[in-house]
Amino acid sequence: MARKALGPATLQVVQAVRAMAERPIVAAVSGGGDSLALAFAVAEVARKLGLDHSAVTVDHGLQAGSAERARLVQDQLLRFGYPDVVLRRVELTPDAGPEADARTARYRVLEAEAAERNADLFLGHTLDDQAETVLLGLARGSGVRSLAGMAPRSGRRVRPLLGVHRATTQACCVELGLEVWNDPHNSDPRFTRSRLRQRVLPSLENDLGPGVAEALARTAELARADADLLDRLAEELHAAATAGPQPPNLEVINDEVPSANRGSRKVPVGPALNCPILAAAEPALRGRVIKRWLLDCGARDIALQHVRAVESLIIDWHGQRQVQLPGMTVCRRAGDLLASAAGSTPRR
């Protein structure tokens, strides 16, 4: 690609990437405007800083001609000067929705490529994507962590464009004369995020005035700082609440066997959780610790109602024996909470 002065939109994208480029980079590129703008900026910055860099494009096989489009993306990336462009094809499982399944498969491939190169994985999420994420969290009644949206840096994942509008990445592609692929899924009303993008956010901007996306992104930044602090405090509380003597096993009765044939057996349990310590804690911290403890004990698909049911054994205990959760039983014994496999009743 011939060298020329960068346009204002391109320069803004390059500056955003430069601010977060610290080590080798793998750029995730779909061929859309956001990821192509990101890919160009990564190539520019990496050359100037002497950083190893490569790009990965993933073919999900969801649409006709996807393999050819992936090759066209690969060709554009090579013209940017990438020394290494990886094209990966993934097979999607039939038991998940196409949107979630494609995302899971894509990130699995991208993370593996970045780990192999000991590199950061640069993603092209923009300020508008962040605003959509916050709205989704609000609509689902999620906690402050969900309202915190996407972190600029999380493990290997780096999102340098969270302060850049989608309109800017699109303008960058126009300035560079890039061939952009517009994924039809992004405008398909079957998908929740597409409806947010096409209908909800524009309606909010129209009814409330401009700046809604910026306000939502700012909310995410503030919520992230609060969530990080709460998580640190909850980690300290969790350590204190699980520091006592730990029973190796719990004697139970198997509820799935007819009563005449029941016998006690020993089943592994997770760490005991101290009820008095948690009863004295703030509710926001107590709930976090309970959820963390349940996950440590092997629970899955924990929702707010499960956390509150377990919390009742701590702050509203009046002799009730146990709480049944998906795949797990939680009981209170001598001031501690204990967990066992589902279908088991602790012996008194």
Q: Tens of pLDDT along 273-288?
A: 999 999 999 999 999 9
Distances in Å between the Cα of 81 and the Cα atoms of 2, 28, 117, 159, 177 are 11, 15, 18, 22, 16
Fold classification of 8-228 is Rossmann fold (3.40.50)
Q: What is the mean pLDDT of residues 169-198?
A: 87
Helices (H), 209-325: 212-241, 275-279, 283-296, 304-315
- Residue 255 or residue 35, greater confidence: 35
Residue 338's pLDDT is what?
92
- Contact indicator for 110, 90 with CB cutoff of 8 Å: no
Please state whether 264 falls in left (phi above 0), alpha (psi between -120 and 50) or beta: beta
pLDDT exceeds 80 at position 123: yes
pLDDT exceeds 90 at position 235: yes
- Residue 115 or residue 2, greater confidence: 115
Q: What is the pLDDT of residues 299-347, one digit of tens each?
A: 888 999 999 999 999 999 988 878 999 888 999 988 999 998 765 555 5
pTM of the entire structure? 0.84
In the chain, helix, strand, coil percent, each to 5?
50, 15, 35
Query: Where, residue-wise, is CATH 3.40.50.620 in the chain?
Result: 8-228
Range from 124-128, 130-134, 217-221, 296-300 carrying the lowest mean pLDDT: 296-300
The angle that helices 66-79 and 33-49 make with each other, rounded to 10 degrees, is 30
How would DSSP label each residue in 84-149? Answer: -EEEEE-PPPTTS-HHHHHHHHHHHHHHHHHHHTT-EEE----HHHHHHHHHHHHHTT--HHHHT-
Q: Confirm or deny that 259 is annotated as ligand binding.
A: no
Q: Confirm or deny that 31 is annotated as ligand binding.
A: yes
Distances in Å between the Cα of 41 and the Cα atoms of 34, 55, 169, 199 are 11, 12, 11, 30
Q: What is the mean pLDDT of residues 223-228?
A: 96
Q: Confirm or deny that 344 is annotated as ligand binding.
A: no
Residues near 24 by beta carbon (within 8 Å), at least 6 away in sequence? 51, 52, 53, 117, 118, 119, 120
Residue 62's pLDDT is what?
60
- Following CA atoms 30, 35, 41, 42 in sequence, which dihedral angle do they give, to the nearest 10 degrees? -50
Residue 314's pLDDT is what?
96
Query: Where, residue-wise, is CATH 1.20.59.20 in the chain?
Result: 268-341
Q: Confirm or deny that 177 is annotated as ligand binding.
A: no
Q: Confirm or deny that 32 is annotated as ligand binding.
A: yes
Q: What is the mean pLDDT of residues 86-106?
A: 69
CA angle, residues 10, 11, 17, in degrees to nearest 5: 90
- Contact indicator for 126, 13 with CB cutoff of 8 Å: no
Q: Read off the tokens for 210.
A: 């401009």
Q: Confirm or deny that 120 is annotated as ligand binding.
A: no
pLDDT band at 250 (very low <50, low <70, confident <90, very high): low
Least Cα distance to 86 among 122, 51, 66, 114 occurs for 114
For domain 268-341, is the CATH number 2.40.10.10? no
| For the chain, percent of residues with pLDDT exceeding 70 | 85
